[in-house]
Structure 1
Amino acid sequence: MNKYFNYFLSVNFAVVLLCFFAFAIGIATFIENDYGTTTAKALIFNSWWLELCLILLCCIFIYNIYKYKLHKIQKLPVLLLHLSFILIIIGAGLTRYIGKEGSMRIREGSLNNQFVSETVFLDFKFHDNKTEYVGQKPLLLSSLSNNKFIIPIKFNQNEISIEYVDFIHDPVDEILLNQQDGDDFIELIFPKENGGMKSEYIIKNGIRRFQDLDFSFNNQSGDIKIFKTDSVFQFVSSYDVSFMKMSDQSNGLLNANQTHIFNQKTLYTINGKNFVFKNYLTKGLLIKKSNSIKNDNSKIDLLKIKLNVNDLDTIIDLYGYKGLVSPKTYLSLNGLFISLSYGSINYSLPFAIKLKDFQLDRYPGSDSPSSFASEIEVIDKDKKFDYRIFMNNVLNYRGYRFFQSSYDNDEKGTILSVNKDRVGTFVTYSGYLSLLLSVIFVVISRFSRFNLLSKKLK
């Protein structure tokens, strides 16, 4: 037993762990490039086995301090080197588990005392008209990782569970045809914001919202009511509609609140919004699929969960992504009132920040920004002071650090990165200081190997 114990705390095993750590970080770099930062975190950076590797390294360093009596003055450089790695590893752990990160948007002339979390949460609340149960679970989901989780909840006499079903990044609709229990759909084509076209589907008797307009199919509600009579498609619009036939480029204007033929291969425009009637599909099943396997934080995610309340369950779709405080989904199930959401959450600051002016400079003769800065005012009860945040000039106040990150497209607002990690930062920087001192003492200490070799050369 002692043989294995001594091996796992030996320098040789530490070398193996360091090589393994370097290999894992190298693989993570390729994963991050191909599949996104979130996937790299889920698979490697935040994995339990990488944490175990660092914990074992930390234990080996501590054990070797005792084993080789590094506390003696003659071995001070080696002691400082060991302490530096120990402190850096502990600091990283503190940063991960007790630190807070996020982003803060402020418009010119506005105040803000909240920032949006970097971490994504499943937020849930249960209410039975008397008491309520509130909870949050941090999540790190990706297209490649094992995302499964189950949250058991005991609320008064209610047995509740929230269970993972599926995760779809950048979900898009897809129709599976020739399904025995399928429904009828119409397929409309809309332009994408970043170019290209996308298909959207409306189920028979259903209604969906696209481009700030409500489209319905065989439903009396909506801004554009589409219906099928025998084999002819018609529509009634609450607004005037211009059209252009793609076959002969003929065009015209269709009056609002009148019935018109809904033709395929015709471009319709309502209030500057374009769409095309592409197809009519029968016996179809609408599903969601991922449009991109690379996790892009600017694109929305779909989290499917199964909610069970006293053996009665339902499947719920929750949409959200990092940086978005998603609207809540409300429902009642088995006598409980429930709210759920998936996405970032708001953290409150003990003070407020006002953006007085956002400044952006460009390179001469170019639209590329050369620098940008935020002139802010910190308001903390009766205390007020001005500050300028720009690249490499960080606001450090009451344990919070504010970095200039980005800005709004109209250049009338700023985006600040926020970090609250006083303890983790202090421990990590202490590790860096210890590492620097170890290098210095290697050079100047008369007991160091460097000094002994220099004496032999004289």
Structure 2
Amino acid sequence: MIKTLKIFFTQKVFSLLIIIYIILLVIATFIEKKFSTETAQALIYYSKWFEFFMLILIINFIGNLIKYKFFNKKKLPIFIFHISFIFIFLGGVISRYFGYNGTLSLREGEKSNNLISNKKYFNINLSDNNNCLKSNIYYILSNFNKNSKKRFFLKNFFYKNNLIFQIENYIKNVKEIFLVDKFGRKYINIITSFKGKPNNNFLKDGTIKNIGGLYFSFNKHVKGIINFWEKGNKIYIQAPIEIFNNKKKETGVLNHNLISQIILTSFYRIRNLNFFIEKSPLFGNIYYIPINNYYNYSNYPSSLRAKIFKNKKIKKFNFLIKKNFNLIKTNLNLGGKILSLRYGQKILNFPFYVKLKKFILEKYPGSSQPSSFKSQLQIIDKDKIINYNIYMNNILDYKGFRFFQSGYNSDEKGTILYVSHDFIGYFISYMGYIFLIIGMIFTFFCKETRFYKLKSKLNRDILI
């Protein structure tokens, strides 16, 4: 055992570990470029084995410091130089496990005290008429773990009734197709138009669907949304807002229950959404086929198939995750209790408000290309108001929150800020960088270092 430790705590082993570490970073960069950031995170960056490898590396590093007695007075500069890497590593660990970051979007005149996290979670809610319990599970969906059959055991989730959530399959970038089947479910096809291109939106009998930012239902009357239903081979519509078509104008106002018959192939417009229904309801099934998992088609959604186990009951379901991992909600009935499942970013709060007074974008003369942009902000913390400008290389640091200028809205009336909260992690990392600089400077001038001895030998050789 002692002999093994002596072999492990050597400079050769440390050099080998450093080479492996560099190779892993190169591989991770290649995976991120070839596949996706999520795949690189699942395979390397956020994997348990990579964390274990980093732990082995730092143990070897500390062991070498002790073995070669870098902590004595004569080797103090070298010790400071090497100990800086431990501080940098420790700061990174704290940042990873205790810090968080996200995005804050503000329009001019708007204030907010919440941001959207960069990490993505499964959010599971289970409720009845009297109680509601929530669980957030951090998980990375990627092509790598698409068939992992990952299980999450949620103990005492609802009145000591254990619940198991299991991922069955994940397909990145899918296209929805409808196949006619007389034994399938009933659907209507709401055809929308975007930039002159028709898009099929199949709405299943008894369900609700978000189409173009508006909620539609078919044979499921829900107050406050646009309802379709079938009666006598005819389709009717009822909406709480104005409906326009190419022949006449029809209005439906909430609580007035105005009902209109849909004219097939006739164009309708609700707000900015243009649509028509070409045929009577169809019987069939929806399937999702992959477009190409090796490229990032951001306009296509992803498909997730999962199971929920509650006692002896099993509920299977599929749902889509739209581009940018927007929160997609699915309601399931589990023995009289309603389960809601979402995947995506979650809302994080901070203990003060940030208000955007004005966003300023400057462009190169005679060009539409931006030369610089900045955000004029106000920090509103109870009775205290602080004015601050954020622009490139000028960040706002307040109560452990750091705000960076990240982007802006296309109409130049809003800003996008990157926010991080990790005061301790940043402080320890910066301490490490300070020690690194001090150690390098001392190494140049301390007589006990190898660098100083080589410099002295070189000077003697020159004089000879």
Distance 2:362 2:173 in 1: 34
Which residue number in structure 1 is paired with residue 42 of structure 2?
Answer: 42
Stretch of structure 1 that moved more, 298-307 or 38-47: 298-307
Distance 2:114 2:56 in 1: 38
1:355 is displaced (CA, Å) by 1.1
1:9 is displaced (CA, Å) by 3.0
Which residue number in structure 2 is paired with residue 426 of structure 1?
Answer: 427
Q: Structure 1 residues 69 and 137 mapped into 2: Cα distance closer, same or farther (>3 Å)?
A: same
Q: Do the aligned residues in 2 keep the contact of 1:395 with 1:402 (CA within 8 Å)?
A: yes
Secondary structure of 1:392's counterpart equals: coil
Which residue number in structure 1 is paired with residue 144 of structure 2?
Answer: 144
Q: Structure 1 residues 20 and 406 mapped into 2: Cα distance closer, same or farther (>3 Å)?
A: same
Q: Do the aligned residues in 2 keep the contact of 1:173 with 1:201 (CA within 8 Å)?
A: no
Q: Do the aligned residues in 1 keep the contact of 2:221 with 2:227 (CA within 8 Å)?
A: no
Which residue number in structure 1 is paired with residue 256 of structure 2?
Answer: none
- The one-letter amino acid paired with 2:169 is D
Secondary structure of 1:348's counterpart equals: strand
Which residue number in structure 1 is paired with residue 168 of structure 2?
Answer: 165
Q: Structure 1 residues 26 and 292 mapped into 2: Cα distance closer, same or farther (>3 Å)?
A: same
Q: Do the aligned residues in 2 keep the contact of 1:389 with 1:403 (CA within 8 Å)?
A: yes
Deviations along 1:178-200, one digit per CA (max 9) or x if unpaired, are x684457666654456x865443
Unaligned 5+ segments in structure 1 are 243-252
Q: Structure 1 residues 26 and 344 mapped into 2: Cα distance closer, same or farther (>3 Å)?
A: same
Q: Structure 1 residues 323 and 347 mapped into 2: Cα distance closer, same or farther (>3 Å)?
A: farther
- The one-letter amino acid paired with 1:42 is A
- The one-letter amino acid paired with 1:174 is I
Deviations along 1:420-446, one digit per CA (max 9) or x if unpaired, are 011111121222222222321221111
- The one-letter amino acid paired with 1:169 is K
Stretch of structure 1 that moved more, 416-425 or 40-49: 40-49
Q: Do the aligned residues in 2 keep the contact of 1:111 with 1:352 (CA within 8 Å)?
A: yes
1:141 is displaced (CA, Å) by 1.1
Which residue number in structure 1 is paired with residue 120 of structure 2?
Answer: 120
- The one-letter amino acid paired with 1:113 is N
Q: Structure 1 residues 383 and 217 mapped into 2: Cα distance closer, same or farther (>3 Å)?
A: closer
Superposed, 1:178-197 pairs within 5 Å as 181-183=183-185, 190-192=192-194
Which residue number in structure 1 is paired with residue 396 of structure 2?
Answer: 395
Which residue number in structure 2 is paired with residue 385 of structure 1?
Answer: 386
1:269 is displaced (CA, Å) by 6.2
Q: Do the aligned residues in 2 keep the contact of 1:183 with 1:203 (CA within 8 Å)?
A: yes
Q: Structure 1 residues 329 and 416 mapped into 2: Cα distance closer, same or farther (>3 Å)?
A: same
Q: Do the aligned residues in 2 keep the contact of 1:117 with 1:323 (CA within 8 Å)?
A: no
The alignment-based identity, stated in percent, is 32
- The one-letter amino acid paired with 1:82 is H
Deviations along 1:11-33, one digit per CA (max 9) or x if unpaired, are 22222222221112112212212
Which residue number in structure 2 is paired with residue 102 of structure 1?
Answer: 102
Q: Do the aligned residues in 2 keep the contact of 1:54 with 1:89 (CA within 8 Å)?
A: no
Secondary structure of 1:69's counterpart equals: coil
TM-score by length of 1: 0.82
Distance 1:185 1:131 in 2: 34
1:117 is displaced (CA, Å) by 1.0
Stretch of structure 1 that moved more, 82-91 or 357-366: 82-91
TM-score by length of 2: 0.81
- The one-letter amino acid paired with 2:102 is G
- The one-letter amino acid paired with 1:151 is F
Superposed, 1:205-244 pairs within 5 Å as 210-211=211-212, 241-242=245-246
Q: Do the aligned residues in 2 keep the contact of 1:171 with 1:289 (CA within 8 Å)?
A: yes
Deviations along 1:202-230, one digit per CA (max 9) or x if unpaired, are 5578775534677788999967778997x
Secondary structure of 2:365's counterpart equals: coil
Deviations along 1:5-58, one digit per CA (max 9) or x if unpaired, are 333333222222222211121122122122222222122211222222211110
Superposed, 1:13-28 pairs within 5 Å as 13-28=13-28
Which residue number in structure 2 is paired with residue 58 of structure 1?
Answer: 58
- The one-letter amino acid paired with 1:395 is L
Secondary structure of 1:414's counterpart equals: strand
Distance 2:328 2:216 in 1: 22
1:2 is displaced (CA, Å) by 3.2
1:122 is displaced (CA, Å) by 1.4
Q: Do the aligned residues in 2 keep the contact of 1:325 with 1:345 (CA within 8 Å)?
A: no
Q: Structure 1 residues 202 and 341 mapped into 2: Cα distance closer, same or farther (>3 Å)?
A: closer
Deviations along 1:261-297, one digit per CA (max 9) or x if unpaired, are 64xxxx9564675568789998743122444534678
Q: Do the aligned residues in 2 keep the contact of 1:358 with 1:414 (CA within 8 Å)?
A: yes
What number of residue pairs does the alignment pair up? 438
- The one-letter amino acid paired with 1:167 is Y
Deviations along 1:89-108, one digit per CA (max 9) or x if unpaired, are 22211111001100111221
Q: Do the aligned residues in 2 keep the contact of 1:303 with 1:342 (CA within 8 Å)?
A: no
Structural RMSD (CA): 3.7
- The one-letter amino acid paired with 1:115 is L
